[in-house]
Amino acid sequence: MLKNLIGGRWREVDRPTLPVLNPATEEVLEEVPLSGPEEVDQAVQAAEKAFATWSQTPLLERLRLLFRFKGLLEEHAEDLARLVTLHHGKTLEEARGEVRRGIEVVDFALSAATLLQGRTLREVTPGVDQNLFHYPLGVVAGIPPFNFPVMIPLWMLPIAVVAGNTFVLKPSERTPLGAVRLAELFLEAGFPEGVLNLVHGGREAAEALAAHPGVRAVQFVGSEAVARRVYALAAAHGKRVSAAGGAKNHLVVLPDADLDLAVPAILNSAFGNAGERCLAGSVAVGVGGVGPELLERVVEAAQRLKVGP
């Protein structure tokens, strides 16, 4: 059974579990525990304890550790991609792209020495100078979705910690293995205990994070209904919150479109990533007389797609 990461230590959880499946074979890969408020509180307390020191750690030291983490991600990129395919089901090529997009966010976070600079403005009025400083918030919670188990945690974690915050990650209970591997590499990079904590679970754990008084900010990506719930709950408890939901995406094909380009683009949008992207095309609209030929060619191309590992 998977364990929670609390204060730098992997801890067993005595809770009901769900199976983590290989969707291509339905093989049970792991069991994921459904943590509750007690485990969430342990993680937040560990993050709060670490924040006292981490927030005072010089920026260059935080960057050195993040460079090490980035190096480990590069070294293990292929293994991460294969892990994504194993328990999510997207093709290996798409999984490689996911890992690469995640590493690119780490690249962005490594520009923190510039991004975190403040500014000084002298004599804004006689005898008055103005100074702007950036300070870390405290404990930040991240709740990513199932469809990008490596990329979206990497949207959240590197930027939060390089800015001096500590982090509690609640990965999807359907695809938690990518987050576990990221946490292992994070520890291997040498980050102090408690800077990253990982709590497995479902709705109960997510809502406990959104409501916990020790959490200062919440980052969420997932379905629209859950995004609204997380946003409302976190905002009601006075937190900063970013909640990105899904979308209904229309692909408009005009009469003068080059169908040799349009049809592959439609298939990639609709069926790429196993059809599980918030930006996946769900409706193709043929304008004017292009409709019948567009439909025929999309159907023909879709029938040639292969399903399986």
* 3-state SS track over 223-267: CHHHHHHHHHHHHHCCCEEEEECCCCEEEEECCCCCHHHHHHHHH
Q: What is the pTM of this model?
A: 0.92
In a 3-state reduction of DSSP, which class is residue 35? coil
Per-residue pLDDT of the chain (309 residues; tens, 9 = 90+): 999 999 999 999 999 999 999 998 999 999 999 999 999 999 999 999 999 999 999 999 999 999 999 999 999 999 999 999 999 999 999 999 999 999 999 999 999 999 999 999 999 999 999 999 999 999 999 999 999 999 999 999 999 999 999 999 999 999 999 999 999 999 999 999 999 999 999 999 999 999 999 999 999 999 999 999 999 999 999 999 999 998 888 999 999 999 999 999 999 999 988 888 888 898 999 999 999 999 999 999 999 987 665
Where does CATH 3.40.605.10 sit in the chain?
4-244
Q: Output the pLDDT for position 26.
A: 93
Q: How far is CA 233 from the centre of its chain?
A: 20
Q: Which residues of 93-102 are buried (b: 16+ CB within 10 A; e: fewer)?
A: ebbbbbbbeb
- Looking at the DSSP bridge assignments, the partners of residue 220 are 143, 243
Residues with catalytic roles: 278
Looking at CATH, the fold of the domain delimited by 4-244 is given as Aldehyde Dehydrogenase; Chain A, domain 1 (3.40.605)
pLDDT at 99: 98
Q: Which pair of structure tokens corresponds to residue 12?
A: 């067993």
